[in-house]
Structure 1
Amino acid sequence: MRLKTVRIHNYKCIDDSEEFSLAPITCLVGKNESGKSAVLQALYKLKPVERDQADFDDLEEYPRKGLTDYEVIKDEKPANVLTTVWELDQRDEKVLQDTFGVNPIRSKLVTVTKGYGNKLCWNTEVDEAKVVKHYLKQLRSEKGEITEGTKVLSVADIITQLENIKTPSAEQAEVLAKIKKNIPNGELSQVVNNALATRLPTFLYFADYQKMAGRVSFNALSQNISSKKLLFSEKIFLALLDLAGTTPKEIQELGKLEHLIAKLEGVSNKLTREIFEYWSQNEYLRVNFRFENALAEDPPPFNSGYVFMTRIENTRHQVSVSFEDRSTGFVWFFSFLAWFSQVRKTYGTNLFLLLDEPGLSLHAKAQGDLLRYINEKLKPHFQVIYSTHSPFMVDPDNIMGVRTVEDVVKNKQPLGTKIGDKVLSTDSDTLFPLQAALGYEITQTLFIGKHTLLVEGPSDLLYLKWFSQELKSQCKEGLDSKWVIAPAGGIDKIGSFITLFGCNKLHIAVFTDFHDGDKKKIRTLRDSEILKKGHVFSAEMFANQDEADIEDMFGRSTYITLVNECYSLKGSQQLSDKKPSKAPKRVVAEVEEHFRTLSIDISEFDHFGPASFLVENSGMIKKNLPHLEEALDRFDKLFKELNLLLKDAEE
């Protein structure tokens, strides 16, 4: 299952978050006390790893400003907190198919809610007629009847009619037994929901402050286990022991001490190797363990019984320090991996990760390493939501996965925490991490003006400049010089630019390619409220085909002539005047396929190469380009539409 949307009501600082969507990796950005942690903590209670933390407590968690009124009605009508919409995947549908013989649901979207009544409520569109038809087919009933003249409308009807047959056939008895096994009492919706409940991911919540203890007193640990009052730091330690295949009781058997240390160090080495794949700060750290008698002069509870100590050794400086005295970032990473590895051992990949301010104590470069870990190790297997107010934890390549979190006040009335589905906020403090993260990405390549035309890359800039100049040389309009053409470095960076500068007084238009992989992003730009309507242009609008790059506006024959000239292709190496029957629609894709068949002594195809060659050899090459006038007409249409935007902006 994949979580598509969430809405949170009546929880701590959240009156109504309003519905917001989730990406495979969702980043909650907001300033301190905006409600980021409350969002994660509310979601955690849907189905937490630690089952004793599953219940909502109205006295502690219902918004205080409305608690008095709520206590009057709570017994009759417990307030809802979570409304979550999930999309089923093929594995979920297979579970249903295997159980019922057919897929019994109409829609892949199901809604799961939970509130202060602490019950999961499922809303699933069940297609009972489909299931009934499936069982009637097994009974060889084409008329929809089992007993003559009586129509079957539900699974319960099938059970009733079969049970009323005094001498059922073997076939009827078999079907009845199957139905009663799969759908007791004929309650199809309940059985479907129960089956899906086993597929609902378990939520793992991990916060920056949750770290393993460097010293553990076994006397205190045993008491806390007995009283069921374990500290979270002790739970992480027990997770480490579980990964090593041992228990606190086994540890206290001194005869197995060396065996235990060996197993723990094996687990530690595995976790440490995983850390160092994504830890660029210091490669000389190692985790060591000691198990000793307590010293009477140490403070309680470390002055009696046995004490287990975890230490971090720096092999470069040949010194070791207590686990708690080491870099807090390294300690957090090790603690998270120990806890996560043990939880994953139990639940496999059916987990949903909630990371509250991960990497808060990490250096900026280490935060980049953590982002890489999230994208490379977690994203392929798990949905992740993490919160941050650090610009270095905002992934510029996943800007559409950012959700802003704000504690909103309107007309001096507090409205509580709101989660923005769009990556634009009216609050400058909330927006700051986005500005900082995206500003660094964009300012490396971007030149902007009052009227900025964003394009994907430098080749687009050269082509637009060249065609504009050619049109002006023929006393035609060309592109107005007020437009500053800015190559943003790809469609993702275009979105980043608009997010960063959309609130400023810049007049922005976009020209981009349009093909599979980018269509959704372009539609998002067109629908965005931070870009004026009609300010996104794409190549297919002028190339007369449903997928197109700027090169398709040349026309195929014009562009392949340019490529043949640019790379000095001769004879059989040339691109053919006649388009191959199985060639891609887009001419650039056709050229790329052709170059893969050429010998290694031919230069590798580069989009920028033909653009640069056209500009540098303009006088010579344009005489050889067929159908150039048709290409000029296409660019003329684009420039006229862009120039009209200037008139509207200046009125």
Structure 2
Amino acid sequence: MRLKKVHVQNYRSIIDSEKFEVEGNKTIFVGPNEAGKTALLQAMQHLNPPKGIKPLNALRDYPRAHYNKITSGHVNPADVRVVEAEFELDAEDREYLPDGMKDANYSLWRNLDNSTGHSLIGAPAKIRYKDLEKDLIRLAAHADKQFTQSEGETEQSPTNRLKAVTDGWHEYVSIQGEKAQALLAWLDTVFPLIDEDNEKEEARFDSLKVEIKIGDERNIAVQALRKRVPVFVLFSNYFRVRPVIHLNQLATRIANGTLDDERYDYGNVCLLNLLGFDAKALSEMGATSEPDANDREALEAFREKLDERQYQLNAAEVSLTEEIRSVWNPDESRGEAAKLRLRADGQYLKVTVEDDLGVEVELDQRSEGFQWLVSFFIVFFAEAQGEHKNAVLLLDEPGMSLHALKQREFRNTITRLADGNQTLYTTHSPFLVGPDELDLVRVVEMNRREEGTKVHTSVIANDPAALLPLQEALGYDLAQSLFTQKQNLVLEGLTDYWYFEAVSELLRASKDANFNEKIALVPANTAGKVVYFATILHSQGFKVAALLDSDSAGDQAAKQDTLVHILGNKRILRTKDYLQDEIKTAEIEDLLRDTLIGVAKSEFGWDVSDIAAKQPKRPLVNIFESEVEEFSKYLLAKAFVRWSRDNESSDLSKRELEQWKKLIAAVNGALK
């Protein structure tokens, strides 16, 4: 199962985060200092924490300004919901759901007193007695007629037996457990008395049997799903693997339960777990002297143990070195190296790094960034691929000590790791937010302490500092394209960028059309700014084309003398020119009209299919804006990007496919 939505309340700086969506693989939280990003991750960890995590505590975790509500008794911690999440189920999870509930999702929450609750979302609700009462009475009355004719004992009639079963039940009692079993047993006695030619009563019997079972079926399903909830593992920048570990001292602290705080011992314990050893075993092995040379059997056993230990150390060295080098990319011409070495020597386990000359240097003599990277991979592989396999990883400000370019490489590593472990992380760094990842971003801000931390699913914020990493990420990428890409397509805005990139990837994967990878996509923010971007790029001697919507803003931009002079008419592309149907003021969304109507309905419940069918010449965005009060072009584009990751070009309609093939061919031709 995968985390889908989260809602955090009543936790430290968070009064009510409001419900926000989480991406299937990777989600990025950005925001200024003191916005509550760390608190957000800490609260999420309490959904299903690993062993050893301190439980929620009202004094420590309830918003301090409101703590008097707890002490005065006005608020009961058992009634305070702290974090709630909705999980989307995979095919294996759905095997635990009964028929009629296969499309449901699972919800889990934790309260301030550490109690938990769970439910199914999108499944039939639990049945109450009032929901069945009328049908039960009518079925009993029908059965009474048959019973009277055959038995003649009214005191044991179906109606009287039903009264005995339901005696004392109020109308809101939930039908589950013993109550459900009692009603099912009553139905079994009634079934032979139902006239088989009476289709209405036969259907009533079948319906009652299904409804009575719903409560227990839901209970069984949620209990099974609860066991399948991934563990939420929070990683902190403070975790460190020490260059020298004294095994006997660590084993003693573990045995006595007196481990130092997690900043010191956590990374060391993870290293031992990764190696498949515990501190005590390694310590005892280091303290054991070599057997007498004449005792060949004991000597062979001792040496085999040493060999086994060294083989495990070597295997860990190889896998960790491979992962670290994939991010670190050492420049061997300058003597850089990233070969990790693990050495067991008596009571000491040493972590060293070997340079290109074969010289080993202790880990703590390398840069802070390299130390962090080594520690991260050791903790990750020990936790996420061991006891917490398929965990949800919560990374708090990862890679802060890495150089900016190393952070860009580490961003790709997170993407790769997120394929197996859904990952959520906070960052201030623009280099950990890719320009093509803005749909994965959640903006965290706190404008007023009284309101607390808020999480925005769309890229909006009242505090400009919250958006700074995103602006810097786009600025860096744009700067790179301005000076390195000789061919550039300027688009009106970010959503146009998402649509064009997503569709071009779909068509490239299916070989329906091959958008020239050397062409850079440059979002200009608005149609009015297209001319400025085109002018800058043209002044550098680069080839430039522009894709403009056919609405009024696009018309104004297309008619600007400067733009026409720079690009010429052949490189000013208009969306309406690639549509099979005539839409005079078409926008880029109209090139995906059929798919976006379906995506909007399935994702948000925005159903405009009938109106769009009746008004084929009306722009799709105009229809959405008039029919959907909460419509957002941003949310629609983001939903399409998600859709594109799970679908193929063949899932586009035939006319959409032809329209985009024509557009991509035109762009390639204009910039060849």
TM-score range, shorter chain: 0.5 to 0.7
Could you tell me whether the CA contact under 8 Å between 1:5 and 1:85 is conserved in 2?
Answer: yes
Cα deviation, residue 516, structure 1: 8.4
Match of 2:278 in 1: 247
How far does residue 287 in structure 1 lie from its aligned partner after superposition? 1.4
Residue 500 (structure 1) aligns with: none
Check 1:317–1:346 CA distance in 2 against 1; reply closer, same or farther (3 A cut): closer
Indicate if the aligned counterparts of 1:453 and 1:483 stay in contact, CA closer than 8 A: no
CA contact (8 A) 2:12 2:39 kept: yes
Question: Map of 1:529-568 to 2, 5 A cutoff?
Answer: none
Find the counterpart in structure 1 of residue 351 from structure 2. Answer: 310
| Number of the residue aligned with 2:359 | 319
> Which one of the candidate residues 317, 321, 338 is aligned to 1:285?
338
Cα contact 2:2–2:89 (8 A) shared by 1: yes
CA deviation string 1:451-509 (max 9, x = no partner) = 5276999999468799x9xxx9xxxx99432796999xxxxxxxxxxxxxxxxxxxxx9
Task: Return the alpha-carbon distance in structure 2 between the equivalents of residues 267 and 590 of structure 1.
Answer: 49
Aligned to 1:110: 106
2:274 is the alignment partner of 1:215? no
Task: Name the aligned partner's letter for residue 327 of structure 2.
Answer: Y
Q: 2-side partners of 1:209 and 1:421: how far apart?
A: 29
Is the 1:96–1:195 Cα contact (8 Å) retained in structure 2? no
Q: Distance in 1 between matches of 2:598 and 2:188?
A: 64
CA distance, structure 2, for counterparts of residue 82 and residue 236 of structure 1: 28
Shift of 1:403: 1.2
Relative to structure 1, the CA distance from residue 226 to residue 586 in structure 2 (aligned partners, 3 Å threshold; closer, same or farther) is closer
Q: Deviation at 1:360?
A: 0.8
What CA distance in whole angstroms lies between the structure 1 residues aligned with 2:665 and 2:187?
A: 77
Equivalent of residue 429 in structure 2, options 368, 383, 390: 390
Q: In structure 2, what residue type is equivalent to 1:248? A: A
Deviation at 1:228, TM superposition (A): 2.2
Which 5+ residue runs of structure 1 have no aligned equivalent? 131-141, 168-182, 294-305, 488-508, 528-537, 548-581, 593-604, 614-651
Q: CA deviation at 1:367?
A: 0.7
The equivalent residue for 1:406 is 445
Q: Indicate how the Cα distance of structure 1 residues 307 and 478 shifts in structure 2: closer, same or farther if over 3 A, else same.
A: closer
Aligned match for 2:667, one of 585, 595, 608: 608
Q: Secondary structure at the match of 1:378?
A: helix
Specify every segment of 5 or more residues in structure 2 that has no aligned partner in the other structure, as ranges. Answer: 128-138, 148-156, 166-174, 190-211, 287-301, 483-487, 489-521, 535-541, 568-585, 605-611, 622-652
Render the CA deviation track for 1:357-384: whole Å, top value 9, x for unaligned.
1111111111111111122x22323321
- Matched residues in 1 for 2:549 and 2:180: separation? 74
What value does the CA root-mean-square deviation take over the aligned residues? 4.8
| Aligned-partner Cα distance in 1 for 2:40–2:227 | 24
Write the distance in 2 (CA, Å) between the matches of 1:277 and 1:543. Answer: 52
Question: Residue 447 of structure 2 contacts residue 462 of structure 2 at CA under 8 Å; is this kept in 1?
Answer: no
- Residue 61 of structure 2 corresponds to which residue in structure 1? 61
Aligned to 1:174: none
Counterpart of 2:232 in 1: which secondary structure?
strand
Amino acid at match of 2:232: F
Contact 2:7 2:83 in 1 (8 A): yes
The one-letter amino acid of 1:309's match is K
Q: Which amino acid aligns with 2:592?
A: H
1:85 and 2:81 equivalent? no
**Contact (CA 8 Å) 1:462, 1:611: kept in 2 or not?**
no
Residue 378 of structure 2 aligns with an amino acid whose one-letter code is: A
Q: Matches of 2:387 and 2:179 in 1, distance apart?
A: 39
Give the drift of 1:439.
1.4
Against the structure 1 CA distance between its residues 312 and 184, is the aligned structure 2 distance closer, same or farther, given a 3 Å change threshold? Answer: farther
Distance in 2 between the 1:67 and 1:371 partners?
Answer: 39
Deviations 1:264-291 (CA, angstroms, capped at 9, x unpaired): 1211211211222233245622112233
**Secondary structure, aligned partner of 2:32:** coil
Deviation at 1:47, TM superposition (A): 0.6
Matched ranges for 1:571-610 at <5 A: 586-587=657-658, 606-610=665-669
The one-character-per-residue Cα deviations of 1:289-329 (angstroms, maximum 9, x if unpaired) are 23335xxxxxxxxxxxx222211122x25432222222222
Query: What does residue 237 of structure 1 align with?
Result: 268
Q: Which of the numbers 157, 160, 163 marks the counterpart of 2:182?
A: 160
Residue 419 (structure 2) pairs with residue 380 (structure 1): yes
The answer on whether the counterparts of 1:451 and 1:484 sit within 8 Å (CA) in structure 2 is no
From 171, 183, 200, the counterpart of 2:229 = 200
Q: For 1:234 and 1:478, how far apart are their aligned partners in 2?
A: 61
The letter for the 2-side match of 1:64 is R
- Relative to 1, partners in 2 of residues 1:583 and 1:438: Cα closer, same or farther, differing over 3 Å? closer
- Rounded to whole Å, the distance in 2 between the matches of 1:546 and 1:68 is 52
Indicate how the Cα distance of structure 1 residues 184 and 342 shifts in structure 2: closer, same or farther if over 3 A, else same: farther
Q: Output the amino acid matched with 1:10.
A: N
Per the alignment, do residues 465 and 350 of structure 1 end up closer, same or farther by CA in structure 2, a change over 3 Å counting? closer
Amino acid of the structure 2 residue aligned with 1:310: V
| Structure number with higher helix proportion | 2
Is the counterpart of residue 34 in structure 1 residue 31 in structure 2? no
What is the CA distance between 1:350 and its match in structure 2?
A: 3.0
3-state SS, counterpart of residue 201 of structure 1: coil
CA distance change for structure 1 residues 32 and 612 in 2, over 3 Å: closer, same or farther?
closer
Which of 392, 402, 411 is the matching residue for 1:362? 402
Question: Normalised by the size of structure 2, how large is the TM-score?
Answer: 0.61
- The alpha-carbon distance between structure 1 residues 5 and 454, as it changes in their structure 2 partners (threshold 3 A), is farther
CA shift at 1:42, angstroms? 0.8
2:384 maps to amino acid: R
Q: Take 2:525 and 2:47, find their aligned partners in 1: how far apart are those partners?
A: 49
- CA distance in 2 between partners of 1:204 and 1:72 (Å): 34
3-state SS, counterpart of residue 234 of structure 1 = helix
Is structure 2 residue 87 aligned with structure 1 residue 10? no
Any residues of structure 2 matched to 1:439-458 within 5 Å, and which? Answer: 439-443=475-479, 444=482, 446=522, 452=528
Structure 1 distance, partners of 2:87, 2:53, is 22
| 1:121 and 2:150 matched | no
Aligned partner letter, 2:15: D
- AA aligned opposite 1:199: R
In the other structure, the counterpart of 1:480 is 559
Distance 1:408 1:520, change over 3 A: farther
Change (3 A) 1:372 1:190: same
**Could you give the per-residue CA deviations for residues 603-638 of structure 1, whole angstroms, max 9, x where no partner exists?**
xx954354469xxxxxxxxxxxxxxxxxxxxxxxxx
Q: How many residues align?
A: 481
CA distance in 2, matches of 1:332, 1:521: 45
Code of the aligned partner of 1:259:
E
Q: Percent identity over the alignment? A: 27
Match of 1:22 in 2: 22
What is the CA–CA distance in structure 2 between the aligned matches of 1:90 and 1:11, rounded to whole Å? 34
Structure 1 residues 187 and 511 mapped into 2: Cα distance closer, same or farther (>3 Å)?
A: closer
Give the distance between the partners of 2:397 and 2:119, measured in 1 at CA: 33
Report the alpha carbon displacement of residue 393 of structure 1 after superposing the two structures with TM: 0.8
| Structure 2 CA distance for partners of 1:78 and 1:162, relative to 1, 3 Å | closer
Cα deviation, residue 83, structure 1? 2.1
Deviations, residues 71-104 of structure 1 (Å, cap 9, x unaligned): 222557542211222222322111224xxxx354
Compared CA separation, residues 450 and 200, structure 1 to 2 (3 A)? closer
Which residue type is aligned with residue 471 of structure 2?
A: Q
Change (3 A) 1:224 1:353: same
Contact 1:459–1:607 at 8 Å: present in 2 too? no
Q: Distance in 2 between matches of 1:193 and 1:545?
A: 45
Distance 1:389 1:517 in 2: 38
**Alpha-carbon distance change, 482 to 88 in structure 1, aligned in 2, over 3 angstroms:** farther
Q: Match of 1:313, as an amino acid? A: E
1:324-363 pair list within 5 angstroms: 324-347=364-387, 349-363=389-403
Where 2:327 maps in the other structure, the secondary structure is coil
